[in-house]
Structure 1
């Protein structure tokens, strides 16, 4: 009888300790996680494709300031990564890069899987309906990436691409402007810039719409590519060709990020971008 009572006592003690532990864990989990489902207040989780050089790319080590990708043996580098570092430092947080497909960036932000999008994203009116944006941290122009020595390398107007097979990335304003080209053969949008480069190399398309930094990057990485800048280009709004940080609606991060971005001059932006173009992996 004595042994049975002791056993009951042990069971009761273990049960009470288990319940106390659960209660304690629940209390900690109910605190503000800083907009991340696993990050905590000391972590700044940034979403990006890591596939849009020179804004962001994937590399195998920490060369040239690469940052480890969360849950992945690879690293992320590029202009966006350098800007993300500045913001994380200004916020007093540890930077965590979350590699995310382009279409998944806004849903990941709104479901608190990431704290911000720093991914060469333009603050278009359509996107502003679902998320907020910081001040711009880069401004660019639209270009066309084509085959070097091909029929379109010397184009000066978008109308020179009449009849050409042209595409752009899925769910970007780049794709929507293609219809401004009279008689263009608009091809299905593609998921990523690496996919478009492969399609261009193989002749599936004649060109793809991009922004100048990516165009410089593509032509630098592949000697078979050329970037076409236009005298008569696409009609766009200022927001379309700007790049900004995406944050959740009414986030307290917006003002803090703007303060940090204000400390990066236009001259310094160009310097960071030039370094990103120079440092991009050859395969990007």
Structure 2
């Protein structure tokens, strides 16, 4: 076994233990249940939501401002009103919602959630507020080929990962190959590109897509779904009985007044129609501008974190303090050996359980810490590449070890590693797209909002691609200018 392997394993085990402890739901006994009181005292009701599921929840542009709208949002507003608090919508990927609820990032999940048996093991549910069957979205030109779920043998069928539809495809369409994606807009884009043959979605959502796009059609999938799992309910933390009772009271009032059919769904359909008829991307320029702003800001801060921490790690690894060298080596090895996406989720959901950190801070910190591991290797390699004769000559002239590094070795190393360092900076801009999974409004996140609002897949992607190119090309030119200047100063 490698002499440092035990340290790497210890480091990994510690992180896994911390994440497991953070994700463990803490049941609350009825006698000490303060779930409702806590929300009323803080004055806000935070709901977890994945706004890419019209008419339940989706984003739209209202008077130039981005808003999350839909049936579920209206239900959330009614519940918040009944509780006497303000509604706060926290947006993130659908398959991150359960983790967010279990780790206390949100007070409840209101996002077209079905109360499956598996989910009930981790969270409690309110009474069902809406019941709908599952349809299959197909291309209108293929309408004669498919009649229901049994028509898709040897075909590719898409569904949002983590949804009831995804499980239904696996369980009741054995002859089909399930294709899971994070976003409904991506599924529609894949369908239009003939990458998949159908999309299983809640009928209300499927009809909304079909009515908004003349190339699509919705057919009844004829799935067999149990009474509880066929409906939508609100997910709540385990043991939050007081909050559950209050939510059920609001749901009963909404049902009694038939607000979903009379108010919430018609209002959502109006927004869908407005977004679908918007023919120019210029209407959404503020979305893309906001995405660029977040992407540049996160990249800039992450670069500073990466350079400062990365250079420090490099000097530690080149130093003589054994235990610090081992710790730095373990950090670099572990970070380089795990995906950035996992690191983002760990910091936001895991460490964020012990200290309430925002999605922007968590995403920026994760990207910066990840970059530091690679920057460390760049610095270490550049310093070690400087000939030993340079150090010996400097020391013979009376320079201290610190001055030798500062005035002789490091300036030469920086000149040599600049291209590799610049490449890391450019890659970092593109890697910031990962933070969209926890709801950070970067360029990718804003692109998905435009897709959901306009029901267009390719054009928003093309615009985002051009914007990323402009950012990276501008940085490339700046880095080239600085590199040329450094070489000129060295030559002089």
TM range (shorter): 0.7 to 0.9
Matched with 2:46 is: 45
* Structure 2 residue matching 1:262: 3-state secondary structure: helix
Matched with 1:76 is: 68
> How many angstroms apart in 1 are the aligned matches of 2:117 and 2:38?
23
1:257 CA displacement: 0.5
C-alpha change, 1:171 and 1:32, in structure 2 (3 Å) is: closer
Instruction: Output aligned runs, 1:148-167, within 5 Å.
Output: 148-150=140-142, 152-153=143-144, 155-167=146-158
CA contact (8 A) 1:139 1:242 kept: yes
Instruction: Output aligned runs, 1:14-93, within 5 Å.
Output: 41-61=42-62, 74-93=66-85
1:183 CA displacement: 2.8
Q: Alignment partner for residue 135 of structure 1, among 111, 127, 130?
A: 127
Q: Alignment partner for residue 254 of structure 2, among 237, 241, 264?
A: 264
C-alpha change, 1:225 and 1:235, in structure 2 (3 Å) is: same
CA contact (8 A) 1:35 1:112 kept: no
C-alpha change, 1:62 and 1:125, in structure 2 (3 Å) is: farther
Deviations for 1:13-32, whole angstroms, at most 9, x for unmatched residues? xxxxxxxxxxxxxxxxxx98
Instruction: Output aligned runs, 1:269-284, within 5 Å.
Output: 269-271=260-262, 272-280=264-272, 281-282=275-276, 283-284=454-455
Matched with 2:404 is: none
> How many angstroms apart in 1 are the aligned matches of 2:38 and 2:187?
33
1:157 CA displacement: 3.0
1:182 CA displacement: 5.2
Structure 2 unmatched runs, 5+: 1-33, 277-453, 456-492
> How many angstroms apart in 1 are the aligned matches of 2:185 and 2:173?
24
> How many angstroms apart in 2 are the aligned matches of 1:182 and 1:136?
29
C-alpha change, 1:120 and 1:187, in structure 2 (3 Å) is: same
C-alpha change, 1:157 and 1:256, in structure 2 (3 Å) is: same
CA contact (8 A) 1:35 1:115 kept: no
C-alpha change, 1:32 and 1:260, in structure 2 (3 Å) is: closer
1:33 CA displacement: 9.8
> How many angstroms apart in 1 are the aligned matches of 2:57 and 2:94?
12
C-alpha change, 1:107 and 1:188, in structure 2 (3 Å) is: same
The answer to which of 101-110 and 48-57 deviates more is 101-110
C-alpha change, 1:190 and 1:84, in structure 2 (3 Å) is: same
Instruction: Output aligned runs, 1:87-102, within 5 Å.
Output: 87-102=79-94
Size of the aligned set, in residue pairs, is 239
1:247 aligns with 2:236: yes
C-alpha change, 1:154 and 1:273, in structure 2 (3 Å) is: farther
Deviations for 1:190-229, whole angstroms, at most 9, x for unmatched residues? 1111111111111111101111111111112211110002
Q: Identify, as 1 or 2, the structure richer in strand.
A: 1
CA contact (8 A) 2:156 2:197 kept: yes
Matched with 2:390 is: none
1:124 CA displacement: 0.6
C-alpha change, 1:182 and 1:47, in structure 2 (3 Å) is: closer
C-alpha change, 1:34 and 1:189, in structure 2 (3 Å) is: farther
Q: Which is bigger in relative contact order (C-alpha 8 A, separation at least 6)?
A: 1
When normalised by structure 1's length, the TM-score is 0.78
Q: Alignment partner for residue 215 of structure 1, among 206, 211, 214?
A: 206
CA contact (8 A) 1:134 1:246 kept: yes
When normalised by structure 2's length, the TM-score is 0.46
CA contact (8 A) 2:129 2:255 kept: no
1:236 CA displacement: 1.4
CA contact (8 A) 1:166 1:207 kept: yes
Structure 1 unmatched runs, 5+: 1-30, 64-72
